[in-house]
Structure 1
Amino acid sequence: MIGSIDCMHWQWKNCPTAWQGDYGNRKGQKGIILEAVAGFDTWVWHAFFGVAGSQNDLNVLGQSPVFNDVLGGQSPNITYQVNNTVYQTGYYLADGIYPRWTTFVKSILNPRSQKQKLFATYQEGYRKDVERCFGILQARWLIIRKVRPVCLMRRSS
C-alpha cells in the first residue's frame, strides 16, 4: 500500500476578488481543495492543491501529478501476494467517490461474511490515516485552522 488518498475541501474566506470566479463552487462559496496521500504515520507522500476551476475530488485527480512517477516508470518496487496471486503495483486506499481503477482499493459496501466484515473494518480504519493527517494540519497551521472545512469526512458511496 502506498497510502490513503483523499481530498480536503475548505472555504477560502479571503479569496482575492480577481480569482473568485475561478475558485467558486456550485453553492457560490469560494474554496480550495487539497489532495493528499498519507501513510499510517501521517507522513504526507503526496500533496496537490487543486487548480482554478476544480470543483470536486475527481477533477483534482484528473489534474494531479499523483500518477506521474508510475507513468514514467519510476514507481516504487512493491510486491505482495493475495490469494496466491503476486502483484507488483502499488495501490491507494480510497473512499467510494474514486473511480474503479486497480490502483484504488475501496471498502466492501455491504459486507456479508465475517471475512468481508473484517476486511471492511481494517480497510476503513487504515483509510482514515489521511483524515487524521488533515486534522493534524488543521491543528498545527493557523491558516488552515482559521478557515472552516467544507467537508473533511465523506460517506463512502
Structure 2
Amino acid sequence: MEDFRRYLERQERETNERNRRADEINELQRQVDEQVLIAVTLQDEENQGRRRGSQVGRRRNVERQRHSRGKNLLEDYFIPTSLYSDVDFRSRFRMQPHLFNKVTHDICNYDAYFVQKCDATGVLGLLSEQKLTAVIRMLAYGASADQVDEIARMGKSTTLEALVRFCQAIETLYTRDYLRRPTPRDLQRLLQKAEARGFPGMIGSIDCMHWQWKNCPTA
C-alpha cells in the first residue's frame, strides 16, 4: 500500500509538470490564435477599403443562403423529428446531442457573440448552431475554415473568430471542473479503469489520428 501511495505521488508530480507545460503551450497557442484573427480581420478591412463597387478581377460576394442552410441544419440534427439519429449526431459531432445542447446553452450565456441577433440593417445573423457546428467540425476533424463553409455557410474570418471565442469560453467555463489537474483519487480511478481494459499502469493515451505516418505502405 505504501508503494502504491508513493507511486501515486510520483504520478501526480509528473502530471503536474505535464499540465504546467501544457498550460504554457495553450497560452502560446491562444496568443497565436488571437494574432491570426486580428491579421485576418485587418486584411479583410484593408481589402474592402481598397476596392469598392464592381471592378475587374474583384472576387464577387458569395450569397451563402445562410438562413436556408441554418434551417436545414436544424432539421438535420436539432429538432425532435430530425433527419439524422442521435447515433449519426454522435458520429459526426464527436459528442452526444444533450452535451452539445448544454455547451451551446452555457456558451451563449457566457458570450453573446454566439446568440443569433440582427445586424445593423435588421437582417438576422447566423444561428448559434451554425457557429458551434463549424467550430466543432474544425476541432473534431482538423478541418479548415474553408471546409466547414459548406455545412455552416460562414465566411473564413467569421469562422476563425468563432473558433477563438469558443476556445476562450470553454477554458473559462470548464477549467475548474473538467480541465483541472487530476487528484490522487482521480489517478487511482484512471489506473483501475485502464487495468480493467488490459492496460495496467496507463493513466491516459495520446490521440495520434492527425499524425502523418512517414512509412505508410501504399498499394
TM-score, with length taken from structure 2 = 0.23
Name the structure where strand makes up a greater proportion of residues: 1
Report the structure number with the largest CA radius of gyration.
2
Higher helix fraction: Structure 1 or Structure 2?
Answer: 2
The higher-RCO structure (CA 8 Å, 6+ apart) is 1
With normalisation by structure 1, the TM-score equals 0.29
